[in-house]
Amino acid sequence: MAPEAAVQSDKNNDVPRLENLTLSQRAHTFLRDEILSNRLPPGTELQEVALSQQLGVSRGPIREALGRLAAEGLVTVRPRRGAVVHSLSSGEFLEAYQVREALEVLAVRLAVPRLGPEGLAELQTVTDTMAAQAASGHVTEFFEANSLFHETFVQLSGNEKLQEVYRRLIGQMRRYWRRSLVLRGDLRRSVSEHRAILRAAREGDAEKAAVLMAEHIRVPQARLQSMTADELLEAEASFDRKVSE
Amino acid sequence: MAPEAAVQSDKNNDVPRLENLTLSQRAHTFLRDEILSNRLPPGTELQEVALSQQLGVSRGPIREALGRLAAEGLVTVRPRRGAVVHSLSSGEFLEAYQVREALEVLAVRLAVPRLGPEGLAELQTVTDTMAAQAASGHVTEFFEANSLFHETFVQLSGNEKLQEVYRRLIGQMRRYWRRSLVLRGDLRRSVSEHRAILRAAREGDAEKAAVLMAEHIRVPQARLQSMTADELLEAEASFDRKVSE
DNA sequence: CGGCTGGTAACTGTTAACAATCCGCGCGCG
DNA sequence: CGCGCGCGGATTGTTAACAGTTACCAGCCG
């Protein structure tokens, strides 16, 4: 199965030429990027005419793109009342975290026995950059490196269906990276947890690595459950203050 | 999030009136049902004109439906070359089984601590009908009851995101229920495994139930991995002979 | 006899116009 | 003053026609 929305691309080119793409594909990836990068934050209304003018195409391709995004969970379309960028309540966020935990534990179990020296090196590199970003207080870059660590495990699992499901889920959660970081708390602890997972993986102890990963992902879950909505908002606000310093 | 492709339905009617649905929604659910019920088996070409005539609508709604089905993984659309019902290779089938195992283990872990008497009764009922169908050799009905058992656990987990991900995955696997049954083998063993899971759940031992569920789902996986493609085909053929008796 | 070429038919991609629905606003009524 | 009513603009849903691409087949050339 092709990685993105079951649309086969050319065998020769991993990244198909722009001119060969259909307009609805271009609209799809454009909107997808806009949403995932938070340039279109949750709750934004997506009007077909405005989008079609912005992209210079008619409404047809836009509608197809919106429909696909809806099926991916990035957009909510209310029949006859327009589409909006889908938003996650804190409850849904917690639910997604639980599913993510299950998927990543599977990824670790599958990946560790298959791990070669290249895979281990890759994980090591990612962990090191993550530690560096944490030390210098670059929270955004830290988050990116952190995400990459987890995604690398999923990739190294060799299970493409798992990758597909995982990426879809992450796509829904990624936009709330601020919330994730707030819940995560201490960056250094996070780094040392990653180091422990990597150590277990290097020893070939899949079960231990899986347990450590599960506990690692459960940290933000636990904090989220012990917080009220107001406390979460306050924490996010103070996070913003700290970052903008 | 609404269960079906992020499309909100009326608050008042759980099953929205046919006349209120948009044509693309009708086309979507129609094609979905046709695919899931195997009336449109994997590999079938889906031509827009033919479908639009069959449903009495123009190609626009059909295209939107196909796009959404593609995003759900039920259809593969090859740009400019038409859409086909998506098919799973035996490798992809195995991958899906692994993901399913992870999801169901999560479901059991979440569901068991929440189980009330009604939930237990529901699981018991389903298990009993499954045993009855197994005893009388009604394989199709057995499979339905079996699926229901698993889906009930997912439902009782209370995690809606999990339900969404699970249902999407099952939708891709369900069409291969013959293959599932062949790999499963002895129906009675399957029933007793379900009974053991239910017993652990009744005792409130989430961990034990989760382990049993994992082992239960791993049975067909193991057989699939130990079989060549030819052996699988032969087994399916002999299964057909047995059923048609 | 096999493979290439050109043409044609079928199909997908896209557009613009039409139809129906929803939303906001002012008006009149109670 | 509050509330329903209806009207008009804006927006979504749908259609039919057009444009471009792909697949297939016949016929020709090697």
- Looking at the fold, whether B31 and B145 belong to one and the same domain comes out as no
Q: The CATH number of the domain where A94 resides is what?
A: 1.20.120.530
The reported pLDDT for the residue numbered A20 is 80
In three-state secondary structure terms, B84 is: strand
- Looking at the fold, whether B227 and B130 belong to one and the same domain comes out as yes
pLDDT tens digits, one per residue of B208-239: 999 999 999 999 888 888 887 777 777 777 77
Asked if the model's pLDDT at residue B14 lies above 50, the reply is: no
- Looking at the fold, whether B97 and B68 belong to one and the same domain comes out as no
Q: Of A168, A214, A35, which is closest to residue B164 (Cα–Cα)?
A: A168
Q: Which residues contact A142 (CB under 8 A, 6 or more apart)?
A: A130, A133, A134, A181, A187
Q: How confident is the model at residue B61 (pLDDT cuts 50, 70, 90)?
A: very high
The reported pLDDT for the residue numbered A18 is 61
pLDDT tens digits, one per residue of A147-175: 999 999 999 999 999 999 999 999 999 99
Instruction: Please provide the average confidence, as pLDDT, over all residues in chain A.
Output: 89
Q: Of the given ranges (B5-19, B103-117, B174-188), which has the lowest mean pLDDT?
A: B5-19
The reported pLDDT for the residue numbered A2 is 39
Q: How confident is the model at residue A111 (pLDDT cuts 50, 70, 90)?
A: very high
Question: Do the Cβ atoms of A99 and B106 come within 8 Å?
Answer: yes
pLDDT tens digits, one per residue of A212-237: 999 999 998 888 888 877 777 777 77
Q: Which residues in chain B touch residue A80, judged by CB atoms under 8 angstroms apart? A: 22
Asked if the model's pLDDT at residue A13 lies above 60, the reply is: no
Q: Of the given ranges (A80-84, A182-186, B9-13, B218-222), which has the lowest mean pLDDT?
A: B9-13
Which three-class secondary structure string do you get for chain A?
CCCCCCECCCCCCCCCCHHHCCHHHHHHHHHHHHHHCCCCCCCCEECHHHHHHHHCCCHHHHHHHHHHHHHHCCEEECCCCCEEECCCCHHHHHHHHHHHHHHHHHHHHHHHHHCCHHHHHHHHHHHHHHHHHHHCCCHHHHHHHHHHHHHHHHHHCCCHHHHHHHHHHHHHHHCCHHHHHHHHCCHHHHHHHHHHHHHHHHCCCHHHHHHHHHHHHHHHHHHHHCCCHHHHHHHHHHHHHHHHC
The reported pLDDT for the residue numbered A15 is 55
B22 CB neighbours strand D below 7 A: yes
Domain end (from B85, B112, B134)? B85
Pairing of β A83-85 and β A75-77:
antiparallel
In-domain check, residue A2: no
DSSP code, position B7: B
Task: Calculate the dihedral angle through the C-alpha atoms of B84, B89, B93, B96, rounding to the nearest 10 degrees.
Answer: -60
- Looking at the fold, whether A136 and A239 belong to one and the same domain comes out as yes
- Looking at the fold, whether A127 and A217 belong to one and the same domain comes out as yes
Kindly state the average pLDDT of the residues B31-55. 95
Nucleotide nearest to A22 (CA to C1'): C13
Nucleotide nearest to A60 (CA to C1'): C14
**Residue among B2, B60, B70 minimizing CB distance to A6:** B70
pLDDT higher at B144 or B10? B144
In-domain check, residue A4: no
- Looking at the fold, whether B67 and B97 belong to one and the same domain comes out as no
Domains in chain B: how many in total? 2
Both structure tokens of A30: 């454009």
Q: Around Cβ A106, how many Cβ atoms within 10 Å?
A: 26
Q: How confident is the model at residue B15 (pLDDT cuts 50, 70, 90)?
A: low
Q: The CATH number of the domain where B33 resides is what?
A: 1.10.10.10
- Looking at the fold, whether A224 and A185 belong to one and the same domain comes out as yes
The reported pLDDT for the residue numbered A183 is 87
In-domain check, residue B6: no
DSSP code, position B14: S
Task: Calculate the dihedral angle through the C-alpha atoms of A4, A8, A12, A15, rounding to the nearest 10 degrees.
Answer: -30
In-domain check, residue A53: yes
- Looking at the fold, whether B79 and B115 belong to one and the same domain comes out as no
The reported pLDDT for the residue numbered B18 is 59
Q: Which residues contact B66 (CB under 8 A, 6 or more apart)?
A: B31, B46, B48, B75, B77, B83
The reported pLDDT for the residue numbered B244 is 67
- Looking at the fold, whether B54 and B38 belong to one and the same domain comes out as yes
CA distance B190 to B188: 5
Asked if the model's pLDDT at residue A119 lies above 80, the reply is: yes
Asked if the model's pLDDT at residue A72 lies above 80, the reply is: yes
- Residue B14: strand pairing partners: none
Q: How confident is the model at residue B17 (pLDDT cuts 50, 70, 90)?
A: low
The reported pLDDT for the residue numbered A157 is 97
Q: Around Cβ A238, how many Cβ atoms within 10 Å?
A: 11
Asked if the model's pLDDT at residue B3 lies above 80, the reply is: no
Distance from CA of B226 to the nearest CA of A (A): 18
In-domain check, residue A152: yes
- Looking at the fold, whether B111 and B43 belong to one and the same domain comes out as no
* Structural domain span for residue B128: 90-244
Kindly state the average pLDDT of the residues B111-132. 94
In-domain check, residue A40: yes
Q: What is the CB-side half-sphere exposure of residue B33 using CA atoms within 13 A? A: 5
- Looking at the fold, whether B59 and B95 belong to one and the same domain comes out as no
Domain end (from B38, B53, B85)? B85
CA distance B223 to B194: 19
- Looking at the fold, whether A144 and A211 belong to one and the same domain comes out as yes
CA distance A126 to B78: 36
Question: Do the Cβ atoms of B80 and A160 come within 8 Å?
Answer: no
B85 CB neighbours strand C below 7 A: no
pLDDT tens digits, one per residue of B154-190: 999 999 999 999 999 999 999 998 888 888 878 889 9
Enter the ipTM: 0.87
The reported pLDDT for the residue numbered A96 is 96
Sign of dihedral through CA atoms A134, A136, A137, A138? negative
The reported pLDDT for the residue numbered B92 is 93
**Residue among A8, A102, A162 minimizing CB distance to B95:** A162
Q: How confident is the model at residue B109 (pLDDT cuts 50, 70, 90)?
A: very high
**Which residue type is seen at A173?**
M
Q: Of B99, B83, B245, which is closest to residue B171 (Cα–Cα)?
A: B99
A81 CB neighbours strand C below 7 A: yes
In-domain check, residue A10: no
Asked if the model's pLDDT at residue A49 lies above 80, the reply is: yes
The reported pLDDT for the residue numbered A4 is 41
Question: Do the Cβ atoms of A161 and B92 come within 8 Å?
Answer: yes
In-domain check, residue A222: yes
Domain end (from A29, A58, A85)? A85
Instruction: Please provide the average confidence, as pLDDT, over all residues in chain B.
Output: 88
Residues of B with CB under 8 A from a CB of A: 1-2, 5-8, 21-22, 24-25, 60, 63-64, 67-73, 75-80, 86, 92, 95-96, 98-99, 101-103, 105-106, 110, 159-162, 164-165, 169
